[in-house]
Amino acid sequence: MKVTRRDLLVWSAGAAAGLMVTPVPWKLLDDISIWSQNWGWIPQPSHGPVDVKQSFCTLCPRGCGIKVRMAGGWPVGIAGSATHPVNRGALCPLAFGAHQLNWDPKRLRAVRHHGNPASWEDARAAFAKCCNEGPVVIVDGHPGRAASVVLEKFAVNRGGQYRVVDSTETDALRPYEKWSGVPASELGYDLENAQTIVSFGTPLLDGWGIPGQFTRLWAEQAAGQNDPQLRLIQVESELSRTAARAWQWVPIHAGAESALASGIARVLLEEKLVAARGPVPLMTLAEVAIQTGLSPDAIRDLTRSIMAQRPVVAVANDADPAIAALNVLLGAVGAPGGIVRRSKSSTLQVVADSVIPNARAVLLDSTVPWDFVPKTDAEVFRFAAWDAGLSKADWLLPAPGFLEDLTDIPSAPSLPVDTYAVAPNLVRAPHPVQNAAQFLASVNSSLPTVEQIIHARCDNLFRSRAGRLSGLQPTPVTSFASCQKLEEELRNGGVWMAEPLTESFRCELKQWPDPFVSSRPEGWSTSWTSGVLPPLASKLYQESNLRDARERRNA
Ligand code: SF4
Q: Give the tens place of pLDDT for each residue, 212-253.
A: 999 999 999 998 888 999 999 999 999 998 999 999 999 999
Nearest CA to ligand 1 atom 6: 92
Q: Which of 514, 519, 396, 415 is nearest to 122 (CA)?
A: 396
Report the separation in Å between the CA atom of 87 and the middle of ligand 1, taken as the mean of its atom positions: 9
96 pLDDT above the threshold of 80: yes
Report the separation in Å between the CA atom of 90 and the middle of ligand 1, taken as the mean of its atom positions: 9
Report the separation in Å between the CA atom of 528 and the middle of ligand 1, taken as the mean of its atom positions: 8
Under 8 Å between Cβ of 394 and 540: no
Report the separation in Å between the CA atom of 309 and the middle of ligand 1, taken as the mean of its atom positions: 32
Q: Enumerate the domain spans of the chain.
A: 5-37, 112-168+346-497, 186-335
- Superfamily assignment of 186-335 in CATH? Dimethylsulfoxide Reductase, domain 2 (3.40.228.10)
CA-based angle 67:214:93, to the nearest 5? 40
**What are the pLDDT digits (tens) for 383-393?**
999 999 888 89
Under 8 Å between Cβ of 524 and 538: no
Whole-number percent of the chain with pLDDT over 90:
72
- Please identify, by atom number, the ligand 1 atom nearest to the C-alpha of residue 59: 7
Average pLDDT over residues 510-529: 67
164 vs 215, 296, 314, 365, 437, CA distance in Å? 29, 41, 25, 10, 15
**What are the pLDDT digits (tens) for 120-137?**
999 999 999 999 999 999
For a mutational test of ligand 1's pocket, the pick from 64, 86, 408, i.e. the residue with the most ligand atoms closer than 8 A to its C-beta, is 64
For a mutational test of ligand 1's pocket, the pick from 58, 62, 88, i.e. the residue with the most ligand atoms closer than 8 A to its C-beta, is 62
Q: Which helix (H) or strand (E) holds 46?
A: none
305 pLDDT above the threshold of 70: yes
Under 8 Å between Cβ of 490 and 458: yes
Average pLDDT over residues 438-455: 97
Nearest CA to ligand 1 atom 2: 60
For a mutational test of ligand 1's pocket, the pick from 59, 169, 170, 414, i.e. the residue with the most ligand atoms closer than 8 A to its C-beta, is 59
Residue 15 CA to chain centroid, in angstroms?
Answer: 55
pTM: 0.87
For a mutational test of ligand 1's pocket, the pick from 78, 87, 92, i.e. the residue with the most ligand atoms closer than 8 A to its C-beta, is 92
**Ligand 1, CB within 6 Å, residue ranges:** 57, 59-60, 62-64, 91-92, 94-95, 211, 527
